[in-house]
Structure 1
Amino acid sequence: VRYFAHLDNPEKIQYRKEDIKAHCGAEIEHHLSISSNEKAIMKREIQSLIREKDFIEYADLLDYLLDAQLYELLDVANSHTLLFGKYIASRKYKRQGA
């Protein structure tokens, strides 16, 4: 499924996941889940966003992602609470010590 949709080949035409139709009871959601490479890219994107927006509270990050309708990034942020919570806290404490 990932091969036919070119999900792992950004240089090829990208087909929308929503347009893929399953037949004969096939469940393709498992194959359409975010790859580890895509997840790593999204984590870097979230970290850059934290720096760009100067978030010092985890709740502000989540609220921003929700309000901006960046749902895939929100899902990644929610599933990596420890990582982003610690990163934001570290930025906050660093600022207080400066």
Structure 2
Amino acid sequence: MANNTGKDTRSKTWNLIVYPESAPEGWKELLVEDGISFVCSPLHDKDVLPTGEIKKAHWHILLCFSSNKTFKQVLEVSERLNSPIPQKSKSTGGSVRYMIHIDSPDKVQYKKSDIEVYGNIDIEQYFRITSTERYNLIREMIDFVRENEIDEIQDLIDYAMINRFDDWFPLLCDNSTFIMSNYIKSIRHRKKRF
């Protein structure tokens, strides 16, 4: 009978750190060719150590497998990328959200739109906003419309698509165009009356 007293070192999701200067050329393609699905953070090139010194540039990678992989199996992948020791992901959502420091306002914030997904992985589920956040974003849009005298929904959508792609644009696409269109329309009608 096998000794089963140790911790299970298998997992479907593993975290890696990849450094640009030590990664092999075309390292992402290597993973794709191996059939490994993964999520890649934006390049973290602005992170700061407690001393104030800039950290070495790196990517956070979340490897996602369809079945459990042992530490040894993932270590082989990690070694091919010249990456430090892989870590089991304790939370897929936490790993993905950490890629842009969304829950760490004291750290440099990276753009969600710069996250790269390779394979059939839905990361949007980890960024769904609460009702309170949604209402605050709608308030921001209303303030923006008022301050910039916007009187066409197209102007707001164009602005959101270019400048607020990670928060306003999805909100307008999914469920807030109705209120924003009506708000903008009422501004236009009020201008006509006066």
Give the TM-score normalised by structure 1.
0.68
Structure 1 vs Structure 2: percent identity of aligned residues?
A: 22
Q: Which has the larger radius of gyration?
A: 2
Which runs of 5 or more residues in structure 1 are unaligned? 6-11, 19-26
1:51 maps to amino acid: R
Report the count of equivalent residues: 86
Separation in structure 1 between the aligned mates of residue 162 and residue 127 of structure 2, nearest angstrom: 25
Aligned counterpart in structure 1 of residue 133 of structure 2, from 38, 43, 49: 38
Which structure: greater helix fraction?
Answer: 1
Separation in structure 2 between the aligned mates of residue 59 and residue 29 of structure 1, nearest angstrom: 25
Q: Does structure 1 residue 76 correspond to structure 2 residue 171?
A: yes
Instruction: Show structure 1 runs of 4+ deviating over 2 A.
Output: 12-18, 27-32
Corresponding residue for residue 100 of structure 2:
none
* Residues 52-87 of structure 1, C-alpha deviations (whole Å, 9 max, x = no match): 11110000111111222x111111122211101110
Kept after mapping to 2: 8 A contact 1:57/1:88: yes
1:83 maps to amino acid: I
Kept after mapping to 2: 8 A contact 1:58/1:84: yes
Which structure: greater strand fraction?
Answer: 2
Which runs of 5 or more residues in structure 2 are unaligned? 1-90, 98-102, 113-121
Q: CA RMSD in A?
A: 3.0
Corresponding residue for residue 72 of structure 2:
none
Separation in structure 1 between the aligned mates of residue 149 and residue 104 of structure 2, nearest angstrom: 35
